[in-house]
Structure 1
Amino acid sequence: MNAAAPPAVDVRALAAQALARVVRGESLRAVFAASAPRLADVRDRALLSNLLHEGARWWLRYDAALDLLLERPLREREAEVRALAVLGLVQLEVLRLPQYAAVAATVEAARALRRPKFAALVNALLRRWLREREALAARLDADAVARSAHPRWLLDALAADWPERADAIVAANNAQAPLWLRVNRRRAQRDELLERFIEAGVEARVADELDGSFPNQAIVLAHSADVTHLPGYAEGAFSVQDGAAQFAAGLLDLADGQRALDACAAPGGKSAHILETADVHLSALDSDARRLTRIVDNLSRLGLEADVRAGDAAEPAVWWDGRPYDRILIDAPCSATGIVRRQPDVKLHRRVGDVVRLAAAQSRILDALWPLLGNGGRLVYATCSVLAQENARQVASFLARNAGARLLDAAPEGWHRPQGGGAQNLPGEHGMDGFFYAVLERV
């Protein structure tokens, strides 16, 4: 006798549980990774991903909408019901699912959450929104936070640092990001891999946005996909890496035989790119020992090796062997305000005080690692932030403290050159994430 099939999981109910966890402070990426295996169908996993990402992206708007729709606030212990109601609005307004199907499925999800008494409430909320959507949307649009789905502190920071481009940054943050891949030149040829994708029915193109700067190994997919099912993944033919991040290895100006340090290496994407570019002796360092396994696994899939170790980049006396490095990459811990479109939970988790704390940590790392660089060596400072406090002002302050440091003019074509130094790409520009680089030489 065959065993009974396990009960089906309601995708919207699962998404509501996951979104409630994200709103409480958990990482969207981690919550999705823990939730997705409960769904056997890849289509259900894709829907879960869409619901979770768009729910986090638009939370500050549609959670405010619930305050307009509810006569009495939901109790704190009903966080999953509130998340489900927000997801109902997201299905109607962002994903543009058919109204009847979206409402009916969301009401059914309330029962799947074992909150049957809230099914009628969810139904009433969504139907009232459909009846009064224009008036309700106008009331939301009157408030900058609800209109933009961005926290006030971030709106203020963008207006201060990028007054002429703040609106464009907000719009880019509220759009889905394309999926960029970097071809592993040691195991595959870009054009041949592209042909394999096309033969498999995957819509993809060469990323000509990177032409002319460094060897272009980038491919962009037209639609998000489970990359583990793409041709070449198992054999280490490519990695996922946004185009802006792919400039790091080129800016290091690598050559065979150099000693190199990737100081904040997890999960290992830039370490892999360094090793794909030249035969260097690479130390891949990260302060969180729990993340080292991911570096090793990623390098192993790509057929690469490095000296992977745990250590605080700001405390080199604990781990450094005393021999200077020719190249150092500091992909510094930062506010991640340049990758909001890819990690929308940044809008829910970051606070203005975090930027102050992170900027202080960046300064400590720069000051600690600079003495490890040999004469004539090159250090690349990078962040996925768009905030001057972490970027141009950070570099200007470092240069003021270190007479032996020279800032090189190595801006990728078309990037901004902010006052203070370095190069900045803003979210969505050239189809890429927001990213900052400063290239420093020891003289």
Structure 2
Amino acid sequence: MKPTPLPKQKNLRADCAWVIYQILENGKSSRDCLERVQRRHNPRDNAWIQEMSLGVMRKLPLLQNWLRGLLDRPLKGNKKVIEHLILLGLYQLAFSRVSQHAAVGETVNAAPYLGGTGLKGLVNAVLRNFERDGLADKAIDNPIIESGLPKWLYKAIDNAYLDDADAVREATNAMAPIWLRVNQGKISRADFIASLEDADIEFQLSDQHGDGILLSKRQDITSLPGFHEGHFAVQDGAAQMAAQYLDAQPNERVLDCCAAPGGKTGHILERTPSLAYCLALDADASRLARVHENMHRLGHNPEIKQGDASDLSSWWDGKHFDRILLDAPCSATGVIRRHPDIRWLRKASDIDNLALLQRRILDTLWTTLKPGGTLLYATCSILPQENREQIQRFLANNEDAILSPIVKTETPEKPGRQILPGEQQMDGFYYARLVKSISK
């Protein structure tokens, strides 16, 4: 698909349609697209653009089903972006608080900003016909369309979770809450809680998370008390379990592999500030910039390196680690509720490729772990091929690998803890802890 440039003049709905187009047609992440667009708008409009564009991602199969019935033929070439503007209009009419007049009128008026002056009549007719025919109220007898998921992922969840599949899909489509992690190297949890109370910010506490706080309402994070002072980080409750399960001890050498954007690195250092050495490693230079920013704000100073985890010559100094956190590259199917564009950026074929990459990194990092050391394998996936099956294979192929159970029910045949989306308000995550035997 030929890239469509960002409209020269800003327009709320045109810019939102451009984000949707970039995700669906060019495979761009919502984070990258939203960053470009949101430089042009005020905070209130930015929140609207994010809500609408990600809402379209959640309801895409249904919106596309409606669109196919409303268009005589698909739009092509540089007019394709107008289809995405129409999808935005349909979403406003069916699922938002936007008035019918604004949803139709302002969406029609946005077409010229996207080069669609001659298609204003088409946009208007499609949206008016949608309203006239009452399509939003007509049932769709297709569970895959209703699920809001691609067919391959719908079936993968069926195969993995059987009778619980509907509940997993429902949680995958829910809105994710905002979790904070108190940086207790700078402020006590009690004092941070007091600062939230003084600012009349509603929150909940979690018994499982000694550093975690769950906001009751969505907030502008940068306006929260203590943001600029590094008093907290934004980190989901499931991700906060990593430092707890790794359990690094004073004077140890620790590797956080695939560390960007640095949330887990920061938490490890906050829990154990007297480490002998901590390395944050990632292959992506642009994402490592985020690690530097976050470490600076939080007041941490790990070594930060760019390198391919499966190529030791690109980063390893030859000194073995006491503990390794491998936050492996994965499908991110456990965080779709937080990043709904992921469902359209992943394909079924990606899972096999990711599993091979995970295997290569895991096998390589194992050689850098001291005898008696601990490796914590983590993904934000809910697919067994990336999780339980990966660790089953590793245990079967490495005699010096011993499962260190996180939960009592673990066995080498069923290793690790799978956290499902929505479980205790957390994202979907998988953890397995392995210890390297002192002698084979």
TM-score, length-scaled by structure 1:
0.92
Structure 1 counterpart SS, 2:240: helix
Distance 2:136 2:280 in 1: 54
| Residue equivalent to 1:235 | 229
Distance 1:166 1:96 in 2: 30
| Residue equivalent to 2:143 | 144
| Residue equivalent to 2:3 | none
Matched, 1:411 2:407: yes
| Residue equivalent to 1:4 | none
**Alpha carbon RMSD of aligned pairs, Å?**
2.0
Distance 2:411 2:30 in 1: 32
| Residue equivalent to 1:3 | none
Matched, 1:32 2:28: no
Determine if contact 1:335/1:358 at 8 Å carries over to the other structure: yes
| Residue equivalent to 2:45 | 44
Residue 190 and residue 392 in structure 1: after superposition, are their counterparts in 2 closer, same or farther (change >3 A)? same
Determine if contact 2:66/2:135 at 8 Å carries over to the other structure: no
Distance 2:61 2:366 in 1: 41
Q: Cα offset for 1:221?
A: 1.5
TM-score, length-scaled by structure 2:
0.92
Q: Cα offset for 1:273?
A: 0.8
Letter in 1 for 2:317: D
Pick aligned residue for 2:306 from 300, 303, 310: 310
| Residue equivalent to 2:23 | 22
Structure 2 counterpart SS, 1:73: coil
Determine if contact 1:244/1:433 at 8 Å carries over to the other structure: yes
Distance 1:37 1:192 in 2: 34
Pick aligned residue for 2:421 from 419, 427, 437: 427
Q: Cα offset for 1:144?
A: 3.4
| Residue equivalent to 1:291 | 287
| Residue equivalent to 2:344 | 348
Residue 63 and residue 134 in structure 1: after superposition, are their counterparts in 2 closer, same or farther (change >3 A)? closer
Residue 79 and residue 229 in structure 1: after superposition, are their counterparts in 2 closer, same or farther (change >3 A)? farther
Matched, 1:381 2:377: yes
Determine if contact 1:326/1:378 at 8 Å carries over to the other structure: yes
Distance 2:339 2:146 in 1: 19
Structure 1 counterpart SS, 2:430: strand
Structure 2 counterpart SS, 1:248: helix
Letter in 1 for 2:197: I
Matches within 5 A, 1:25-424: 25-39=27-41, 41-134=42-135, 137-138=138-139, 141-208=140-207, 210-211=208-209, 216-278=210-272, 279-280=274-275, 281-411=277-407, 420-424=414-418
Letter in 1 for 2:358: Q
Distance 1:157 1:265 in 2: 28
Letter in 2 for 1:277: R
Determine if contact 1:252/1:380 at 8 Å carries over to the other structure: yes
Q: Cα offset for 1:8?
A: 8.0
Distance 2:411 2:123 in 1: 49
User: For residues 283-318 of structure 1, what are the alpha-carbon distances to aligned partners after superposition, in whole Å with 9 as ceiling and x for unaligned?
Assistant: 111112332222111101100001111111111233
Residue 382 and residue 318 in structure 1: after superposition, are their counterparts in 2 closer, same or farther (change >3 A)? same
Structure 2 counterpart SS, 1:130: helix
User: For residues 355-411 of structure 1, what are the alpha-carbon distances to aligned partners after superposition, in whole Å with 9 as ceiling and x for unaligned?
Assistant: 000000000111101121112211000000000000000000000011111111113
User: For residues 194-221 of structure 1, what are the alpha-carbon distances to aligned partners after superposition, in whole Å with 9 as ceiling and x for unaligned?
Assistant: 332233243322234x25xxxx111111
Distance 1:197 1:435 in 2: 28
Distance 1:113 1:135 in 2: 26
Letter in 2 for 1:36: Q
Determine if contact 1:418/1:424 at 8 Å carries over to the other structure: no
Determine if contact 1:69/1:129 at 8 Å carries over to the other structure: yes
Determine if contact 1:61/1:145 at 8 Å carries over to the other structure: no
Structure 2 counterpart SS, 1:224: coil
Distance 1:341 1:408 in 2: 30
Letter in 2 for 1:293: A
Determine if contact 1:129/1:136 at 8 Å carries over to the other structure: no
Letter in 1 for 2:40: R
Distance 1:114 1:198 in 2: 49
Determine if contact 1:416/1:425 at 8 Å carries over to the other structure: no
Distance 1:418 1:221 in 2: 37
Instruction: Single out whichever of 226-235 and 375-384 deviates more from structure 2.
Output: 226-235
Distance 1:416 1:384 in 2: 19
Structure 1 counterpart SS, 2:197: helix
Structure 2 counterpart SS, 1:305: coil
Q: Cα offset for 1:240?
A: 0.8
Letter in 2 for 1:34: R
Determine if contact 2:58/2:148 at 8 Å carries over to the other structure: yes
Q: Which runs of 5+ in 1 are unaligned?
A: 1-6
Runs of 4+ in 1 over 6 A off after TM superposition: 415-418
Distance 2:163 2:411 in 1: 15
Distance 1:372 1:427 in 2: 32
Distance 2:380 2:428 in 1: 6
Distance 2:392 2:431 in 1: 13
Instruction: Single out whichever of 371-380 and 311-320 deviates more from structure 2.
Output: 311-320
Residue 121 and residue 223 in structure 1: after superposition, are their counterparts in 2 closer, same or farther (change >3 A)? farther
Determine if contact 1:417/1:423 at 8 Å carries over to the other structure: no
User: For residues 102-141 of structure 1, what are the alpha-carbon distances to aligned partners after superposition, in whole Å with 9 as ceiling and x for unaligned?
Assistant: 2222222224434233222222222222232358743xx2
